[in-house]
Amino acid sequence: MRNLNLQFADDALSKLDAFLKETKEARLFRRAQAVREVVKGTRMQAVSNRFDFTYSAVRKWVHRFGRQGTSGLFDRPRPGQPRKLARDLQHHLDRLVDQDPLEHGSIHSQWSCQELANVLRQQTGLQVGRETIRLALKKTP
């Protein structure tokens, strides 16, 4: 394994510590912990083994942190089809969930993701899948 010449700013550890206190997302927390260990001087291979990350993932996050700071630990936008549920459609779904399904012709007193998708299609004309509805509801606080 070749030696990587890594140099970090003097305040790198304090930035990572502050980031660790702020972040609530487990994935970002673990990435920051791994990068912090490398900044402290632990070899990347040891860090990847300890945190059960691939060596290339640790290397990528360490280099991104070196160039971009803690913002380099966030996921980059994924290529492909954009989000299916736009903000206004999300608000429509939120309002719909608060209504009684019986008012919309359902035979059940509780919504299912499929019924929500069907009613959204009837009201907006947009085809939204059951899984998209489930994920949207899961993200709703």
4 — pLDDT class (breaks 50, 70, 90): low
Torsion-angle region of 130 (φ positive above 0: left; ψ -120 to 50: alpha; else: beta): alpha
pTM of the model: 0.58
The amino acid at residue 126 is L
125 — pLDDT class (breaks 50, 70, 90): confident
Domain residue spans of the chain: 12-73, 87-139
The amino acid at residue 139 is K
**Rounded Cα–Cα distance for residues 128 and 60 (Å):** 35
60 — pLDDT class (breaks 50, 70, 90): very high
91 — pLDDT class (breaks 50, 70, 90): confident
| Residue given tokens 């209504």 in the structure block | 99
Question: Cα separations (Å) of 128 from 42, 60, 139?
Answer: 47, 35, 16
DSSP 101: G
Mean pLDDT of 65-71: 92
If one counts every other C-beta atom within 10 angstroms of the C-beta of residue 135, the result is 15
